Amino acid sequence: MEIIKTQSLIKDYLLGKVKVRALAGIELSIINGEFVAIMGPSGSGKSTLMHIIGCLDSPSAGEYYLDGDLVSKLPKSALAGIRNRKIGFVFQSFNLLPHLNVLKNVELPLMYSGLSARKRGEKASQILDSVGLSDRLKHKPNELSGGQRQRVAIARAIVNDPSILLADEPTGNLDSGAGGDILEIFNKLHKAGNTVIMVTHDRAVAERADRIIEIRDGMIHNGDLAN
C-alpha cells in the first residue's frame, strides 16, 4: 500500500518579483515500510519536497496523499495535527530545545497530542531506552555528544508512532562513527516496519536505503517506482 503518493506536485516561490519554480510536477510513490533516500544537488528542490511531504508547507498545485488522505488541500490549521500524529522529523542540527532535559524534549510531541503527564513520561523513557539513552534522561542537550543528541531527536520523532520518519541530512553534523550508529538505528526502525525517508547529498549514506530517488530541477530524475 502507498503511504505517500503525489500527482503533478508543483511549488512556486516569489523571489522578490520573480516567480521561481522549485517543484515542477513531482510524481512520487513510496510504499508502506520502505526505506527511501532522496538525493539531489542544492537548489534541486529536495528540501521543498521534504517540507511538503512533512506538511510544513503546501504545494502550489497538484495532489499529495498521505496514508490515503488528500492533505494538499487541507488548511494550515489541520496540518499541525497531521505533523503531530503522522510525521516524525529528524533534522541535521538536531533541533532539540536547549533548556529542556532529554526526557522533556522527547515528551513534547506527546504533550501537543494531549497525553497526560504520567503517560508521557512512561512512553518517552521507554523510547529513550530503545535508543540506548536511559541513563541520560535528566541531561540537558548541551551535555550530550552529537550522536547522542541525534538519538534523542530520533526518539522524539518516533515517540508518537508516526506513519513516516522524515530525516533531513541526519548524519550531516556527525563524524562517521556516530553517523554509522544513527544509520543503524534507521535500519532497525525500517526492519521493524517503519517507513523511513531520508534526504541526503551523500551517496554512501543514501546507499543504505532500499531505493534512491534523485531530484534535479524540481523533477524526479531517477528512482521512481515506475522506472
Partner 1 sequence: MAISLTESLQIGVNDILMRKVRSLITIFGIVLGVMCIMVVLAIIAGMNKSTMAWMQERGGTNKVEIERNWDYDFRGGGYASLTLAELNQVRGQIPEALAVGPVINSWGASLQYKGFSYSGQVLGVLPGHQRMESWYPGKGRFFSDIEVRENSNVIVLGATVAKELFKTEDPLGQSVMLSDQMLTVIGIMQEKIWESPGGGSFGGNALEYMNRQSFVPISTMMNKIEASSLIQSVQILAKSPEDALMLQEKLKLILLHIKKGKAVFRVSSAQETIQQMQQNSKIFSMIFIMIGMISLLVGGIVIMNIMLASIKERTREIGVRLAIGARRTDIFVQFMVQTVLITGLGGVFGIILGYLILDLVSGYLGMPMLAGPQMILVSLLVSVGVGLIFGIAPAVKASNLDPVMALRDE
Task: Provide the binding-site residues for partner 1, judged by CB under 8 A.
Answer: 51, 54, 56-57, 76-77, 80-81, 83-85, 89, 91, 95-97, 99-100, 108-109, 111-114, 156, 160
Shorter beta-carbon distance to partner 1: residue 51 or 201: 51
* Least distance between partner 1 and beta carbon 30 (Å): 20
- Reading the block at residue 165, the C-alpha cell is 520518519
Least distance (Å) between residue 153 CB and partner 1: 10
Q: Which three cell numbers stand for residue 117?
A: 503527564
Nearer to partner 1, 81 or 132 (CB): 81
Count helices and strands in the chain by DSSP H and E runs: 7, 10
CB 81, min distance to partner 1, A = 7
Helices (H), 25-75: 46-53
Q: How many alpha carbons lie under 13 Å from residue 7 in its C-beta half-sphere?
A: 7
Cell of 120: 508521557
Q: Find the shortest distance in angstroms from Cβ 54 to partner 1.
A: 7
Based on CB atoms, which residue is closest to partner 1, 197 or 208?
197
Name the residue nearer to partner 1 (CB basis): 16 or 177. Answer: 16
Q: How far is CA 47 from the centre of its chain?
A: 11
Closer to partner 1 by Cβ: residue 65 or 112:
112
**CB-based contact 212:223 (threshold 8 Å):** yes
Specify the residue, 65 or 91, whose C-beta has the smaller distance to partner 1. 91
d(CA 61, CA 41): 23
168: phi then psi, degrees, rounded to nearest 5: -110, 105
- Please state the closest distance from residue 227 (CB atom) to partner 1, in A: 29
Which residue intervals of 62-193 are DSSP H helices?
Answer: 76-86, 102-112, 117-130, 146-158, 176-191
DSSP H or E segment with residue 204: helix 203-206
C-alpha 147/C-alpha 210 separation (Å) is 23
